[in-house]
């Protein structure tokens, strides 16, 4: 017994030894791509975030401007800047609106399309999905023109006033994103064996009951997934406010955290603090999305 066991172990070890470099060879392309396009740029961003320019005298002429090590000063400035946190607050409000409305509508549409009685299902599905195919900038411009009081066919309402601008922006995101999320949920629903529903009907369940007690519980993992994706997309909101900004004076250049990064890097020309702020933003969005996953993990995936 003992000899066979050690023999087997030896054999296994030998096998692994023979495999040698092969697993690494399989991994190599992925690792190379990761290093080139993820690790290096991130590393460079971190490097930049630790530096700054120092000007001497008037700053005109040769050698008046040098790049020096700044330590964590850029991070201290990024974290200490009230505008960044005010931006987070605005995005949080906007995000809560978008998430609730977009995912809620997506779920309702998916459930409705999945019921047996709906007519023109294909057409409806496509027309709900279609806005997703419109590029964000085009969609925002289109809505932007609808929002301008003097041009809008919607009447003389100031959709871009300080009170309404968040809702107007959320509307663009919901309009564009609902279709995609609906399709994810709907595809999942179609994969559910029909027998479940038959069994439920035989037991006397109504369509609403089936939706609430069978379909939604089955959908929980995909709802979780779409939520995580949407959280990440919302944290990165940039296109809508940036495109609407020239049309109104209610959106500042630092409305969302990413807009502040853009402003620092390309408007005021301070690449270094822009790098530090982006690292801070990346950290926060990681915490947000992983935090959400951790909270819902047990319910969504039945893991312990």
Partner 1 sequence: MRVNRLALAAVAILTAALSTACSGGSDEPSGEAASQSAAPAGPVKLTYWTWVPNMDKIVAVWNQAHPDIQVTVSKQAGGDDAAAKFLTAAKAGNPPDLVQAEYQMLPSFVAADAVADLKAETAQAKAEFGEGVWGLVTLGTDAVYAVPQDSGPMMLYYRKDLFEKYGIEVPKTWDEYAEAARTVHKKDPKVFLGTFSSKDPGWFAGLSQQAGAQWWSISGDAWRVAVNDEATTKVASYWGGLVKEGVIDGMPYFTPEWNKALNDGKLLTWPSAVWGPGVLSSNAPKAAGKWAVAPLPQWNAGENHSGFWGGSSTAVAAKSPNKAAAATFATWLNTDPQALGLLIKEGAVYPASAKGAALMTEAPDYFSNQPDFWKQAADIGATARGFTFGPNVNVTYNAYRDAFDKAVADKSDFAAAVQGMQDATVADMRKSGFTLAQ
**x/- letters, 249..268, toward partner 1 (CB under 8 A):** xxxxxx--------x--xxx
Binding mask 140-169 for partner 1 (x = CB under 8 A): -----x--xxxx---------xx-------
Tokens of 96: 């809560």
d(CA 92, CA 90): 5
Q: H helices then E strands: how many in the chain?
A: 14, 2
- Which segment (40-48, 63-71, 116-124, 276-284) binds partner 1 by CB under 8 A? 63-71
Q: Contacting partner 1 (CB under 8 A), which of 57, 153, 204, 302?
A: 57
Rounded to the nearest whole angstrom, what is the least distance from the CB of residue 157 to partner 1 in the complex?
14
Nearer to partner 1, 99 or 244 (CB): 244
Query: Toward partner 1, which CB reaches closer, 105 or 139?
Result: 139
Query: Rounded to the nearest whole angstrom, what is the least distance from the CB of residue 253 to partner 1 in the complex?
Result: 5
**Candidate residues 108, 205, 216, 247; the one interacting with partner 1 per rule CB under 8 A:** 247
* Contact between 55 and partner 1 per CB under 8 A: yes
- Among 110, 132, 124, which residue's Cα sits nearest to residue 185? 110
User: Judged by CB under 8 A, how many residues of this single chain contact partner 1?
Assistant: 33
- Location of structure tokens 């050690």: 6
C-alpha to C-alpha distance for 247 and 47, rounded to whole angstroms: 37
How far lies 172's CA from each of 46, 237, 303, in Å?
A: 34, 12, 36
Q: Which CB sits closer to partner 1, 65 or 299? A: 65
Answer for the pair 217, 111: CB distance below 8 angstroms, yes or no: no
CA-nearest of 229, 213, 234, 235 to 293 is 229
Query: Under DSSP, is residue 238 helix (H, G, I), strand (E, B) or coil?
Result: coil
Neighbours of 161 (CB within 10 A): 13
Q: Which two tokens stand for residue 238?
A: 């940039």
* Choice between 185 and 274, CB closer to partner 1: 274
* CA 277, chain centre distance (Å): 18
Does the protein bind partner 1 through residue 54 (CB under 8 A)?
Answer: yes
The nearest distance, CB 88 to partner 1, in angstroms, is: 17
Would you say 145 or 290 has its CB closer to partner 1? Answer: 145
For partner 1, which residue of 59, 104, 209, 283 counts as binding (CB under 8 A)? 59
In whole angstroms, how close is the CB of 96 to partner 1 at the nearest point?
24
Whether 13 and 26 have beta carbons less than 8 Å apart is answered as no
CB atoms within 10 A of CB 182: 26
Helix axes 82-114, 271-301, angle to 10 degrees: 40
- The smaller minimum CB distance to partner 1, of residues 125 and 263, is found at 263
| Of the candidate residues 217, 269, 283, 291, the single one contacting partner 1 (CB under 8 A) | 269
Which residues form the interface with partner 1 (CB under 8 A)? 53-65, 145, 148-151, 161-162, 246-247, 249-254, 263, 266-269
């Amino acid at each position: 017994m003992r000899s066979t066991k050690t023999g087997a172990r030896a054999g296994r070890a030998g096998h692994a030894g023979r495999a040698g470099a092969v697993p690494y060879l399989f991994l190599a392309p992925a690792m190379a791509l990761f290093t080139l396009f993820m690790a290096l740029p991130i590393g460079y961003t971190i490097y930049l975030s630790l530096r700054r320019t120092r000007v001497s005298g008037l700053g005109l002429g040769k050698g008046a401007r040098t790049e020096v090590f700044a330590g964590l000063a850029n991070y201290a400035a990024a974290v200490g800047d009230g505008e960044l946190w005010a931006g987070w607050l605005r995005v949080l409000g906007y995000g809560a609106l978008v998430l609730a409305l977009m995912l809620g509508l997506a779920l309702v549409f998916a459930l409705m399309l999945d019921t047996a009685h709906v007519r023109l299902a294909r057409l409806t599905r496509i027309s709900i999905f279609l806005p997703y195919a419109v590029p964000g900038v085009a969609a925002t411009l289109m809505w932007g023109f609808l929002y301008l009081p003097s041009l809008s066919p919607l009447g003389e309402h100031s959709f871009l006033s300080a009170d309404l601008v968040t809702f107007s922006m959320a509307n663009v995101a919901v309009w564009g994103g609902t279709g995609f999320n609906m399709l994810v949920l709907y595809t999942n629903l179609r994969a559910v064996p029909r027998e479940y529903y038959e069994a439920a009907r035989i037991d006397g369940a109504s369509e609403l009951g089936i939706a609430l007690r069978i379909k939604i519980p089955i959908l929980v993992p995909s709802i979780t997934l779409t939520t995580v994706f949407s959280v990440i997309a919302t944290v990165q909101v940039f296109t809508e406010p940036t495109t609407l900004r020239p049309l109104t004076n209610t959106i500042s250049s630092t409305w969302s955290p990413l807009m502040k990064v853009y402003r620092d890097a390309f408007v005021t020309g301070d690449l270094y603090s822009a790098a530090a702020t982006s690292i801070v933003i990346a950290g926060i969005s990681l915490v947000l999305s992983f935090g959400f996953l951790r909270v819902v993990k047990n319910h969504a995936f039945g893991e312990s």
